[in-house]
Amino acid sequence: MQGGPGCSVGYLIRLPRSFHLTQDTVKIVGSSNFPVKVYVMLHQKSPHVLCVTPRLRNSEMIDPSFQWHGPRGKIISENSTAQVTSTGSLIFQNFEEGMSGVYTCFLEYKPTVEEIVKNLQLKYVIYAYREPHYYYQFTARYHAAPCNSIYNISFEKKLLQILSKLVLDLSCEVSLLKSECHRVKMQRAGLQNELFFTFSVSSLDTEKGPKPCTDHSCESSKRLSKAKNLIERFFNQQIEVLGRRAEPLPEIYYIEGTLQMVWINRCFPGYGMNTLKHPKCPECCVICSPGSYNPRDGTHCLQCNSSLAFGAKACV
């Protein structure tokens, strides 16, 4: 794939965690016109980054020699983290965020035995990326005891315990983000006390959960989806139970129809999403480039002219 000087090409390697790259799985070629962007998931094996253009890949080269230089200087074939094959391909076995940067391959070759040696420089910008840290944020309202009542506090703790236990086996956790009590003037009625709960449901690393597992069902998005369904069912069941009660309503109860949910994406510090800069990896949390940083769990890298490294978490 080639284009003019203003073009940019990106390659995203997004594979299931149980899938391992083989020697011939993915191969990326360069361009003599512009740096090629390559995205490699953190702590994973990279594709083969070839030291050829599309045209040269399908051509014969006499006595080719390849030399790779990265952010830390010349890359030798015996390097334990980055390897250069006999045909000039660059491969990373376990890509770390500190390996992100500009990589240049210097290629020397003869098109034919009779012709003089030709030289070519191919540049790649290789970025570490991570899956977003996403979670569900829920809000719900309860009819409450008077706002200064200790019963509201004990109910809040009990509700959090129930929700946490509900999703525990899915290696998910519930965190209370906000709890407020307000007096609400009802339509054509008097005042009543209400509890406003905001809580999040996020997935833990499966190896940290109570039931470590590695199969396809343990993917974060699948576990979160199951947790969401369990929580929605829990609130629906409260409505059903209240509807079957013959006696008066309890002092604290869920207000039907107030459960709301939003899906929220967050990147880890030092990473961000940018569909304009990384159109080939729009939903990835890509390591922040020099000149930007992300100090917290926002979704974007912020501008910082004094930031000179990839993955900056502060602007100093």
Domains and CATH numbers, the chain: 27-130 (2.60.40.10), 133-204+219-265 (3.30.70)
| Cα–Cα dist 255/153, whole Å | 18
The CA-atom distances, in angstroms, between 21 and each of 17, 40, 44, 55 are 10, 12, 9, 25
Which residues 6+ apart lie within 8 Å of 92 measured at CB? 40, 45, 46, 81, 82, 83, 99, 126
Instruction: With a cut of 80, say whether residue 24 has pLDDT above it.
Output: no
| Cα–Cα dist 124/120, whole Å | 13
Closest by CA position to 203, among listed 222, 216, 217: 222
Confidence of residue 14 (pLDDT cuts 50, 70, 90): very low
Say what the pLDDT of residue 211 is: 52
Confidence of residue 3 (pLDDT cuts 50, 70, 90): very low
What pLDDT, in 10s, does the model give residues 91-127?
998 999 999 999 999 999 999 999 999 999 999 999 9
Confidence of residue 232 (pLDDT cuts 50, 70, 90): very high
Instruction: With a cut of 50, say whether residue 57 has pLDDT above it.
Output: yes
Average pLDDT, the chain: 85
| Cα–Cα dist 179/6, whole Å | 51
Instruction: With a cut of 50, say whether residue 83 has pLDDT above it.
Output: yes
Say what the pLDDT of residue 78 is: 64
Token pair 């990589």 in the structure block, residue: 103
Q: Kindly state the DSSP code that residue 132 receives in the 8-state scheme.
A: -
Say what the pLDDT of residue 18 is: 33
Mean pLDDT in residue range 250-267: 92
Is there a contact between 312 and 304 (Cβ–Cβ < 8 Å)? yes
Instruction: With a cut of 80, say whether residue 268 has pLDDT above it.
Output: yes
Mean pLDDT in residue range 4-31: 51
Q: Is 270 left (phi over 0), alpha (psi -120 to 50) or beta?
A: left
**Polymer length of the chain:** 316
Highest mean pLDDT among 70-79, 210-219, 305-314: 305-314
Is there a contact between 70 and 103 (Cβ–Cβ < 8 Å)? yes
Confidence of residue 8 (pLDDT cuts 50, 70, 90): very low
Which residues 6+ apart lie within 8 Å of 154 measured at CB? none
In 131-217 the beta strands, taken as DSSP E runs, fall at 133-143, 172-185, 191-203
| Cα–Cα dist 49/91, whole Å | 7
| Cα–Cα dist 4/179, whole Å | 55
| Cα–Cα dist 195/182, whole Å | 7
What pLDDT, in 10s, does the model give residues 164-188?
999 999 999 999 999 999 999 877 7
Say what the pLDDT of residue 1 is: 38
